[in-house]
Amino acid sequence: MGFVYAVAALCSFLMLYLLIKSLAGLKTISKTKKGLSKAEQLSEQSSIGDYIYFYGRLSTPPTKAPINKKTCGYWGLIIKAVFTTRRKKPNKGLQTHRPAILKASSEDFPFMVSNGVMCAQMTFRSHLGLIVNSDKDTVKSNSPPKIEEQVSVKPEIWKAKYQSYESTIFSLPKNCQLTIWGKILKKTNSGFLLGDTKESTKPPLIFNGTRGEFLSKMANQTKLTILLVFLILGGLVAIWGWGRTAFEAGQFVTLSVVIAASVFIFGQYIKSLAKK
């Protein structure tokens, strides 16, 4: 019976951890959605300082992404080095490290969006971290990736201890339709200059698609997160209610493991959605 209680305690801790993470994710989704809903649609009457959203076509010159050589309107690159080290005593064995050693993008080009009537240019601090729903490719290699044509790289970043590399390329198709959220910094005859709001309640964002598609995506994430929360709560009730039901010890252990595995899989799925 001691083993049974140990498994129950382990499953309970796992579920409580995932419950806290899920509730935190739900709070973040809700806060982001609420902030974006405050934006007004960009118009000729919009003024400097207004927080707006604008839908139009990416009008930057086509460029080629590094590594996969994909023709696109914008690209971003993150390279991680992979290597192992021995664990510090008293722990034994090896641990794997994946630090990001290089981040680059095609932000040298003016990031401009136009709908044929108005034009908006973005000056966000970093476009790469603000883009949602971009195309993504991951390439693994044992030798340093060849990126010198598009990115200025110092040779010393490729260290001898690195065993392999993981390169993730984010890109937006040329002439794709985007929805952008940001603060108007400047208004000219040729268009609007947008920038960061530096306010967590009014986040800057670039979405590959329409505003409706983005809000629908947020709503689906909210539903899945709520489903995950109820699944976890159901699992905890099943575990804590043991002894008052007709389940035998073996059946209880099996149920606990199945519930914990289901919760973990759902948690990973929610996590993957959040990264897209």
Per-residue pLDDT of 180-201, as tens digits, reads 888 898 888 878 988 876 666 7
Q: Which residue has the higher pLDDT, 266 or 231?
A: 231
> Are residues 51 and 152 both part of a single domain?
yes
Q: What is the DSSP letter of 244?
A: S
Contact indicator for 204, 225 with CB cutoff of 8 Å: no
pLDDT of 104 reads 87
pLDDT-derived band at 215, boundaries 50, 70, 90: confident
> Are residues 151 and 16 both part of a single domain?
no
In SS3 terms, 63-111 reads as EECCCCCCEECEEEEEEEEEEEEECCCCCCCEEEECCEEEEEECCCCCE
d(CA 55, CA 119): 10
> Are residues 6 and 107 both part of a single domain?
no
Q: Taking Cα atoms as reference points, which of 61, 272, 72 lies closest to residue 170?
A: 72
Across the chain, mean pLDDT equals: 77
> Are residues 164 and 129 both part of a single domain?
yes
pLDDT-derived band at 275, boundaries 50, 70, 90: very low
Burial group, residue 73, by CB count within 10 angstroms (0-12, 13-18, 19+): buried
> Are residues 81 and 14 both part of a single domain?
no
Does residue 73 lie in a domain region? yes
Does residue 205 lie in a domain region? no
> Are residues 107 and 188 both part of a single domain?
yes
d(CA 75, CA 173): 9
CA atoms within 13 A of residue 36's CA, in its CB half-sphere: 21
The answer on pLDDT for 203 being more than 90 is no
Does residue 109 lie in a domain region? yes
Does residue 188 lie in a domain region? yes
The answer on pLDDT for 135 being more than 80 is yes
pLDDT tens digit string along 21-72?
Answer: 666 666 666 666 777 778 889 988 899 989 999 999 998 888 899 998 999 9
Mean pLDDT to the nearest integer, 199-215: 80
> Are residues 111 and 175 both part of a single domain?
yes
Does residue 17 lie in a domain region? yes
Q: Which residue has the higher pLDDT, 9 or 175?
A: 175
Tell which of 200, 219, 248 closes a domain.
Answer: 200
pTM, entire model? 0.67
> Are residues 4 and 107 both part of a single domain?
no
Domain region containing 272: 1-38+210-276
Number of domain units in the chain: 2
Tell which of 200, 232, 248 closes a domain.
Answer: 200
The answer on pLDDT for 82 being more than 90 is yes
Does residue 253 lie in a domain region? yes
Does residue 272 lie in a domain region? yes
> Are residues 80 and 163 both part of a single domain?
yes
Mean pLDDT to the nearest integer, 88-110: 83
> Are residues 194 and 255 both part of a single domain?
no
> Are residues 33 and 129 both part of a single domain?
no
> Are residues 243 and 149 both part of a single domain?
no
pLDDT of 111 reads 77
Tell which of 166, 200, 234 closes a domain.
Answer: 200
Compute the chain's Rg from CA coordinates.
Answer: 24
Does residue 88 lie in a domain region? yes
